Structure 1
Amino acid sequence: MSSNTLQTIKVWDLLIRIFHWSLVGFFTLAYLTEGEDEWMTIHSYAGYSILILLVFRLLWGVIGTHNARFSNFITRPKEVLVYLKGLITGKAKDYIGHNPAGAMMIVALIASIAITGFSGMALYATDGHGPLATSFFATWPEGAIKEVHEFFANFTVFLVVIHVGGVIVSSLLHKENLVRAMVTGKKQRPVEQED
Protein backbone atom coordinates (compact mmCIF):
# COMPACT_ATOMS: atom_id res chain seq x y z
CA MET A 1 0.00 0.00 0.00
CA SER A 2 1.37 3.42 -0.92
CA SER A 3 1.68 6.29 1.50
CA ASN A 4 1.52 10.01 0.82
CA THR A 5 4.68 10.44 2.89
CA LEU A 6 7.62 11.53 0.78
CA GLN A 7 11.26 10.66 1.22
CA THR A 8 14.16 12.60 -0.25
CA ILE A 9 16.55 10.57 -2.40
CA LYS A 10 19.97 11.78 -3.53
CA VAL A 11 20.21 11.34 -7.30
CA TRP A 12 22.76 13.70 -8.87
CA ASP A 13 26.18 14.22 -7.30
CA LEU A 14 27.73 17.67 -7.01
CA LEU A 15 30.15 17.13 -9.91
CA ILE A 16 27.35 16.16 -12.31
CA ARG A 17 25.38 19.26 -11.32
CA ILE A 18 28.41 21.53 -11.74
CA PHE A 19 29.12 19.90 -15.11
CA HIS A 20 25.52 20.35 -16.28
CA TRP A 21 25.10 24.00 -15.37
CA SER A 22 28.65 24.91 -16.47
CA LEU A 23 27.96 23.31 -19.84
CA VAL A 24 24.74 25.33 -20.13
CA GLY A 25 26.60 28.54 -19.33
CA PHE A 26 29.64 27.97 -21.55
CA PHE A 27 27.58 26.74 -24.49
CA THR A 28 25.29 29.78 -24.23
CA LEU A 29 28.33 32.07 -24.08
CA ALA A 30 29.97 30.36 -27.06
CA TYR A 31 26.76 30.44 -29.09
CA LEU A 32 26.10 34.12 -28.40
CA THR A 33 29.66 35.15 -29.31
CA GLU A 34 29.80 33.11 -32.56
CA GLY A 35 30.81 35.04 -35.66
CA GLU A 36 31.79 38.25 -33.87
CA ASP A 37 35.50 39.00 -34.41
CA GLU A 38 35.76 41.15 -31.28
CA TRP A 39 34.39 38.24 -29.21
CA MET A 40 36.51 35.48 -30.79
CA THR A 41 38.80 35.09 -27.76
CA ILE A 42 35.82 34.65 -25.44
CA HIS A 43 34.16 32.33 -27.97
CA SER A 44 37.25 30.13 -28.27
CA TYR A 45 37.85 29.92 -24.51
CA ALA A 46 34.21 29.04 -23.97
CA GLY A 47 34.68 26.27 -26.56
CA TYR A 48 37.83 24.98 -24.85
CA SER A 49 35.98 24.97 -21.53
CA ILE A 50 33.17 22.94 -23.10
CA LEU A 51 35.63 20.35 -24.43
CA ILE A 52 37.28 20.06 -21.00
CA LEU A 53 33.83 19.57 -19.47
CA LEU A 54 33.07 16.82 -22.02
CA VAL A 55 36.31 15.00 -21.20
CA PHE A 56 35.36 15.15 -17.52
CA ARG A 57 31.83 13.84 -18.28
CA LEU A 58 33.17 10.93 -20.31
CA LEU A 59 35.52 9.97 -17.48
CA TRP A 60 32.83 10.47 -14.81
CA GLY A 61 30.48 8.38 -16.92
CA VAL A 62 32.86 5.45 -16.34
CA ILE A 63 34.18 6.01 -12.80
CA GLY A 64 31.59 8.34 -11.25
CA THR A 65 28.69 7.80 -8.90
CA HIS A 66 25.93 5.28 -9.66
CA ASN A 67 23.50 7.59 -11.51
CA ALA A 68 26.35 9.28 -13.41
CA ARG A 69 27.71 6.08 -14.94
CA PHE A 70 26.73 5.39 -18.54
CA SER A 71 26.42 1.68 -17.73
CA ASN A 72 23.56 2.48 -15.35
CA PHE A 73 21.36 4.47 -17.70
CA ILE A 74 22.19 3.96 -21.39
CA THR A 75 19.74 1.46 -22.83
CA ARG A 76 18.89 -0.21 -26.12
CA PRO A 77 16.92 1.80 -28.70
CA LYS A 78 13.93 -0.52 -28.13
CA GLU A 79 13.70 0.62 -24.50
CA VAL A 80 13.81 4.25 -25.63
CA LEU A 81 10.86 3.61 -27.97
CA VAL A 82 8.90 1.83 -25.21
CA TYR A 83 9.53 4.77 -22.88
CA LEU A 84 8.50 7.35 -25.53
CA LYS A 85 5.33 5.38 -26.28
CA GLY A 86 4.55 5.35 -22.56
CA LEU A 87 5.22 9.09 -22.41
CA ILE A 88 2.67 9.70 -25.18
CA THR A 89 0.05 7.52 -23.46
CA GLY A 90 0.81 8.95 -20.02
CA LYS A 91 2.00 5.59 -18.71
CA ALA A 92 5.77 5.96 -18.89
CA LYS A 93 7.71 4.28 -16.12
CA ASP A 94 9.23 6.69 -13.60
CA TYR A 95 13.01 6.47 -13.17
CA ILE A 96 15.13 7.65 -10.26
CA GLY A 97 17.98 8.71 -12.58
CA HIS A 98 17.89 9.25 -16.34
CA ASN A 99 15.00 7.71 -18.23
CA PRO A 100 15.82 5.99 -21.57
CA ALA A 101 14.91 9.07 -23.64
CA GLY A 102 17.05 11.28 -21.40
CA ALA A 103 19.92 8.83 -21.76
CA MET A 104 19.61 8.91 -25.55
CA MET A 105 19.57 12.72 -25.41
CA ILE A 106 22.75 12.76 -23.30
CA VAL A 107 24.56 10.65 -25.90
CA ALA A 108 23.26 12.85 -28.76
CA LEU A 109 24.21 16.07 -26.96
CA ILE A 110 27.69 14.83 -26.06
CA ALA A 111 28.31 13.78 -29.69
CA SER A 112 26.94 16.99 -31.18
CA ILE A 113 28.76 19.26 -28.73
CA ALA A 114 32.02 17.33 -29.24
CA ILE A 115 31.78 17.73 -33.02
CA THR A 116 30.95 21.42 -32.58
CA GLY A 117 33.93 21.95 -30.29
CA PHE A 118 36.42 19.97 -32.32
CA SER A 119 35.36 21.60 -35.60
CA GLY A 120 35.66 24.97 -33.87
CA MET A 121 39.22 24.18 -32.84
CA ALA A 122 40.01 23.07 -36.40
CA LEU A 123 38.42 26.24 -37.79
CA TYR A 124 40.44 28.40 -35.40
CA ALA A 125 43.57 26.51 -36.52
CA THR A 126 42.98 27.53 -40.15
CA ASP A 127 43.59 31.12 -38.96
CA GLY A 128 46.80 30.04 -37.21
CA HIS A 129 45.33 30.10 -33.70
CA GLY A 130 44.77 27.59 -30.93
CA PRO A 131 46.32 24.26 -30.01
CA LEU A 132 45.76 22.78 -33.48
CA ALA A 133 47.40 25.71 -35.33
CA THR A 134 50.56 23.74 -36.19
CA SER A 135 48.76 20.49 -36.93
CA PHE A 136 47.44 19.10 -40.21
CA PHE A 137 43.97 20.34 -39.18
CA ALA A 138 45.15 23.86 -40.03
CA THR A 139 45.35 22.78 -43.69
CA TRP A 140 41.73 21.64 -43.90
CA PRO A 141 39.38 23.75 -46.07
CA GLU A 142 38.08 26.60 -43.94
CA GLY A 143 34.67 26.82 -45.65
CA ALA A 144 33.84 23.16 -45.11
CA ILE A 145 34.95 23.25 -41.46
CA LYS A 146 32.88 26.38 -40.87
CA GLU A 147 29.78 24.70 -42.31
CA VAL A 148 30.27 21.66 -40.07
CA HIS A 149 30.85 23.88 -37.03
CA GLU A 150 27.78 26.01 -37.65
CA PHE A 151 25.56 23.03 -38.49
CA PHE A 152 26.41 21.19 -35.27
CA ALA A 153 26.17 24.34 -33.14
CA ASN A 154 22.64 24.87 -34.46
CA PHE A 155 21.84 21.16 -34.22
CA THR A 156 22.92 21.27 -30.58
CA VAL A 157 20.47 24.12 -29.97
CA PHE A 158 17.76 22.00 -31.60
CA LEU A 159 18.64 19.09 -29.28
CA VAL A 160 18.59 21.42 -26.26
CA VAL A 161 15.07 22.58 -27.17
CA ILE A 162 13.93 18.95 -27.39
CA HIS A 163 15.75 18.18 -24.11
CA VAL A 164 14.04 21.05 -22.28
CA GLY A 165 10.68 19.98 -23.73
CA GLY A 166 11.30 16.43 -22.54
CA VAL A 167 12.18 17.68 -19.07
CA ILE A 168 8.93 19.66 -18.93
CA VAL A 169 6.79 16.75 -20.16
CA SER A 170 8.48 14.26 -17.85
CA SER A 171 8.22 16.65 -14.89
CA LEU A 172 4.49 17.07 -15.48
CA LEU A 173 3.82 13.38 -16.09
CA HIS A 174 5.72 12.18 -13.02
CA LYS A 175 4.79 15.19 -10.88
CA GLU A 176 8.36 16.10 -10.06
CA ASN A 177 10.53 19.14 -10.64
CA LEU A 178 13.48 17.83 -12.66
CA VAL A 179 15.10 21.27 -12.89
CA ARG A 180 15.11 21.56 -9.09
CA ALA A 181 16.54 18.03 -8.89
CA MET A 182 19.43 19.09 -11.15
CA VAL A 183 20.06 22.04 -8.81
CA THR A 184 19.72 20.26 -5.45
CA GLY A 185 20.75 16.77 -6.58
CA LYS A 186 17.68 15.30 -4.86
CA LYS A 187 14.27 13.98 -5.80
CA GLN A 188 11.28 13.19 -3.64
CA ARG A 189 9.60 9.81 -3.81
CA PRO A 190 6.62 8.31 -1.98
CA VAL A 191 7.57 5.99 0.85
CA GLU A 192 6.26 2.49 0.13
CA GLN A 193 4.70 0.92 3.21
CA GLU A 194 3.45 -2.61 3.67
CA ASP A 195 0.47 -3.65 5.80
Structure 2
Amino acid sequence: MVRVWDWVVRCFHWALVLCFATAWFTSHSSEVFHHIAGYAAAALVAIRLVWGFVGTPYARFSQFVRDPVTVLHYLLAILSGREARYIGHNPAGGAMVIALIAAMGSTALTGWLMTTDAYFGVSWIEAAHSLAAHGLLLFVFLHIGGVVLASLRHRENLVLAMITGRKRKAEPGIES
Protein backbone atom coordinates (compact mmCIF):
# COMPACT_ATOMS: atom_id res chain seq x y z
CA MET A 1 0.00 0.00 0.00
CA VAL A 2 1.12 3.54 -0.68
CA ARG A 3 0.06 6.80 0.97
CA VAL A 4 -1.80 8.87 -1.61
CA TRP A 5 -4.13 11.37 0.03
CA ASP A 6 -2.89 13.30 3.04
CA TRP A 7 -5.00 14.26 6.04
CA VAL A 8 -5.77 17.74 4.63
CA VAL A 9 -7.28 16.29 1.45
CA ARG A 10 -9.22 13.63 3.34
CA CYS A 11 -10.54 16.02 6.00
CA PHE A 12 -11.42 18.54 3.30
CA HIS A 13 -13.31 15.90 1.33
CA TRP A 14 -15.41 14.56 4.19
CA ALA A 15 -15.99 17.99 5.77
CA LEU A 16 -17.19 19.27 2.40
CA VAL A 17 -19.53 16.28 2.11
CA LEU A 18 -20.95 17.17 5.53
CA CYS A 19 -21.27 20.86 4.65
CA PHE A 20 -23.02 20.16 1.36
CA ALA A 21 -25.43 17.66 2.90
CA THR A 22 -26.20 20.04 5.77
CA ALA A 23 -26.74 22.98 3.43
CA TRP A 24 -28.88 20.93 1.04
CA PHE A 25 -31.14 19.46 3.71
CA THR A 26 -31.53 22.73 5.65
CA SER A 27 -32.16 25.00 2.66
CA HIS A 28 -35.85 25.36 3.53
CA SER A 29 -35.84 24.53 7.22
CA SER A 30 -32.98 26.25 9.04
CA GLU A 31 -31.43 29.42 7.72
CA VAL A 32 -28.82 29.43 10.50
CA PHE A 33 -27.52 25.91 9.76
CA HIS A 34 -27.75 26.54 6.02
CA HIS A 35 -25.62 29.69 6.30
CA ILE A 36 -23.08 28.08 8.64
CA ALA A 37 -22.70 25.13 6.30
CA GLY A 38 -22.29 27.46 3.32
CA TYR A 39 -19.65 29.60 4.99
CA ALA A 40 -17.80 26.50 6.18
CA ALA A 41 -17.89 25.11 2.63
CA ALA A 42 -16.48 28.38 1.29
CA ALA A 43 -13.66 28.26 3.84
CA LEU A 44 -12.91 24.65 2.93
CA VAL A 45 -12.75 25.53 -0.76
CA ALA A 46 -10.32 28.36 0.00
CA ILE A 47 -8.11 26.01 2.02
CA ARG A 48 -8.19 23.39 -0.73
CA LEU A 49 -7.26 25.94 -3.37
CA VAL A 50 -4.16 26.88 -1.38
CA TRP A 51 -3.37 23.22 -0.64
CA GLY A 52 -3.64 22.46 -4.36
CA PHE A 53 -0.50 24.52 -4.90
CA VAL A 54 1.53 23.93 -1.72
CA GLY A 55 0.30 20.54 -0.48
CA THR A 56 1.74 17.07 -0.75
CA PRO A 57 2.41 15.67 -4.25
CA TYR A 58 -0.94 13.91 -4.84
CA ALA A 59 -2.83 16.92 -3.45
CA ARG A 60 -1.33 19.33 -5.98
CA PHE A 61 -3.37 20.39 -8.98
CA SER A 62 -0.27 19.93 -11.14
CA GLN A 63 -0.45 16.20 -10.38
CA PHE A 64 -4.02 15.58 -11.51
CA VAL A 65 -5.38 18.46 -13.59
CA ARG A 66 -5.14 17.46 -17.23
CA ASP A 67 -5.97 19.21 -20.48
CA PRO A 68 -9.45 18.61 -21.99
CA VAL A 69 -8.12 16.31 -24.73
CA THR A 70 -6.51 14.00 -22.16
CA VAL A 71 -9.76 13.96 -20.15
CA LEU A 72 -11.77 13.16 -23.29
CA HIS A 73 -9.41 10.33 -24.24
CA TYR A 74 -9.70 8.92 -20.73
CA LEU A 75 -13.52 9.08 -20.89
CA LEU A 76 -13.44 7.26 -24.25
CA ALA A 77 -11.15 4.63 -22.71
CA ILE A 78 -13.72 4.16 -19.93
CA LEU A 79 -16.42 3.52 -22.54
CA SER A 80 -14.24 0.87 -24.16
CA GLY A 81 -13.27 -0.64 -20.79
CA ARG A 82 -9.56 0.06 -21.28
CA GLU A 83 -8.91 2.97 -18.93
CA ALA A 84 -5.65 3.01 -17.01
CA ARG A 85 -5.55 2.85 -13.24
CA TYR A 86 -4.05 5.89 -11.55
CA ILE A 87 -2.59 6.06 -8.08
CA GLY A 88 -3.85 9.62 -7.62
CA HIS A 89 -6.86 11.07 -9.40
CA ASN A 90 -7.36 9.86 -12.96
CA PRO A 91 -7.97 12.54 -15.65
CA ALA A 92 -11.77 12.33 -15.27
CA GLY A 93 -11.48 12.44 -11.49
CA GLY A 94 -9.20 15.46 -11.71
CA ALA A 95 -11.70 17.25 -13.93
CA MET A 96 -14.44 16.37 -11.45
CA VAL A 97 -12.42 17.81 -8.56
CA ILE A 98 -12.18 21.11 -10.44
CA ALA A 99 -15.88 21.02 -11.37
CA LEU A 100 -16.91 20.30 -7.78
CA ILE A 101 -14.69 23.03 -6.36
CA ALA A 102 -15.97 25.53 -8.93
CA ALA A 103 -19.61 24.57 -8.34
CA MET A 104 -19.21 24.69 -4.54
CA GLY A 105 -17.45 28.03 -4.78
CA SER A 106 -20.19 29.41 -7.06
CA THR A 107 -22.90 28.13 -4.75
CA ALA A 108 -21.21 29.67 -1.70
CA LEU A 109 -20.56 32.96 -3.48
CA THR A 110 -24.11 33.37 -4.74
CA GLY A 111 -25.45 32.31 -1.34
CA TRP A 112 -23.35 34.96 0.37
CA LEU A 113 -24.41 37.59 -2.19
CA MET A 114 -28.04 36.86 -1.31
CA THR A 115 -27.30 38.05 2.24
CA THR A 116 -25.77 41.39 1.21
CA ASP A 117 -27.67 44.67 1.02
CA ALA A 118 -26.82 45.02 -2.66
CA TYR A 119 -28.24 41.64 -3.74
CA PHE A 120 -30.78 40.65 -1.06
CA GLY A 121 -34.00 39.68 -2.84
CA VAL A 122 -32.51 40.04 -6.34
CA SER A 123 -34.14 37.32 -8.40
CA TRP A 124 -31.24 36.57 -10.74
CA ILE A 125 -28.89 35.98 -7.79
CA GLU A 126 -31.43 33.64 -6.22
CA ALA A 127 -31.79 31.82 -9.56
CA ALA A 128 -28.00 31.61 -9.92
CA HIS A 129 -27.70 30.18 -6.40
CA SER A 130 -30.36 27.58 -7.12
CA LEU A 131 -28.77 26.67 -10.45
CA ALA A 132 -25.32 26.37 -8.85
CA ALA A 133 -26.66 24.20 -6.01
CA HIS A 134 -28.57 21.90 -8.37
CA GLY A 135 -25.57 21.70 -10.70
CA LEU A 136 -23.43 20.82 -7.71
CA LEU A 137 -25.84 18.03 -6.79
CA LEU A 138 -25.57 16.68 -10.34
CA PHE A 139 -21.76 16.74 -10.08
CA VAL A 140 -21.97 14.94 -6.72
CA PHE A 141 -24.01 12.14 -8.31
CA LEU A 142 -21.60 11.92 -11.25
CA HIS A 143 -18.67 11.86 -8.82
CA ILE A 144 -20.22 9.03 -6.81
CA GLY A 145 -20.92 7.12 -10.02
CA GLY A 146 -17.33 7.57 -11.16
CA VAL A 147 -15.99 6.40 -7.81
CA VAL A 148 -18.20 3.29 -7.92
CA LEU A 149 -17.20 2.53 -11.52
CA ALA A 150 -13.47 2.99 -10.87
CA SER A 151 -13.69 0.95 -7.66
CA LEU A 152 -15.31 -1.95 -9.51
CA ARG A 153 -13.11 -1.76 -12.61
CA HIS A 154 -9.84 -1.55 -10.70
CA ARG A 155 -10.90 -3.77 -7.80
CA GLU A 156 -10.17 -1.26 -5.05
CA ASN A 157 -12.32 0.54 -2.52
CA LEU A 158 -11.86 4.23 -3.32
CA VAL A 159 -14.13 5.29 -0.46
CA LEU A 160 -11.88 3.44 1.98
CA ALA A 161 -8.85 4.99 0.27
CA MET A 162 -10.31 8.45 0.92
CA ILE A 163 -10.68 7.49 4.58
CA THR A 164 -7.26 5.88 5.10
CA GLY A 165 -5.32 7.80 2.46
CA ARG A 166 -3.82 4.57 1.14
CA LYS A 167 -4.16 2.72 -2.15
CA ARG A 168 -2.64 -0.37 -3.70
CA LYS A 169 0.78 0.24 -5.27
CA ALA A 170 1.10 0.60 -9.01
CA GLU A 171 1.85 -2.53 -10.96
CA PRO A 172 4.77 -1.84 -13.32
CA GLY A 173 3.70 -1.37 -16.92
CA ILE A 174 0.00 -1.60 -16.15
CA GLU A 175 -0.93 1.43 -14.07
CA SER A 176 -0.29 5.15 -14.14
- Who is 2:169 aligned against? 189
8 A Cα contact 2:113 2:119, kept in partner: no
Structure 1 position 190, deviation (Å): 6.2
Query: What is the rounded CA distance, in whole Å, between the counterparts of 1:140 and 1:186 in structure 2?
Result: 45
- Who is 1:145 aligned against? 125
Larger C-alpha radius of gyration, 1 or 2? Answer: 1
Is the aligned partner of 1:179 residue 2:172? no
- Who is 2:6 aligned against? 13
Q: What residue identity is the alignment partner of 1:167?
A: V
Counterpart among 68, 78, 84 of residue 59 in structure 2: 68
The C-alpha deviation readout for 1:128-168, integer Å capped at 9, x for no partner, is xxxxxxxxxx2466211111001110110000000000011
4+ runs deviating over 4 angstroms: none
Q: Summarize the Cα distance change of 1:41–1:141 in structure 2 as closer, same or farther, 3 Å threshold.
A: closer
Structure 1 length-normalised TM:
0.85
Counterpart among 20, 42, 51 of residue 27 in structure 1: 20
Higher relative strand content = 1
Unaligned runs of 5+ in 1: 1-7, 127-137
The C-alpha deviation readout for 1:4-54, integer Å capped at 9, x for no partner, is xxxx11100011000000000011000111133xx1011101100000000
| C-alpha RMSD of the superposition | 1.3
Structure 2 length-normalised TM:
0.94
Query: What is the rounded CA distance, in whole Å, between the counterparts of 1:24 and 1:139 in structure 2?
Result: 27
8 A Cα contact 2:71 2:91, kept in partner: yes
Query: What is the rounded CA distance, in whole Å, between the counterparts of 1:59 and 1:89 in structure 2?
Result: 36
Is the aligned partner of 1:111 residue 2:111? no
Q: What residue identity is the alignment partner of 1:44?
A: H
Is the aligned partner of 1:170 residue 2:156? no
The C-alpha deviation readout for 1:49-85, integer Å capped at 9, x for no partner, is 0000000000000000000000111011111111111
Larger RCO, structure (CA 8 Å, separation 6 or more): 1
Query: What is the rounded CA distance, in whole Å, between the counterparts of 1:74 and 1:139 in structure 2?
Result: 34
Q: Summarize the Cα distance change of 1:92–1:22 in structure 2 as closer, same or farther, 3 Å threshold.
A: same
Equivalence map 1:74-89=2 (5 Å): 74-89=65-80
Unaligned runs of 5+ in 2: none
Q: Summarize the Cα distance change of 1:125–1:35 in structure 2 as closer, same or farther, 3 Å threshold.
A: farther
Q: What residue identity is the alignment partner of 2:52?
A: G
Query: What is the rounded CA distance, in whole Å, between the counterparts of 1:106 and 1:142 in structure 2?
Result: 30
Q: What count of residue pairs does the alignment treat as equivalent? A: 172
Q: What residue identity is the alignment partner of 2:143?
A: H
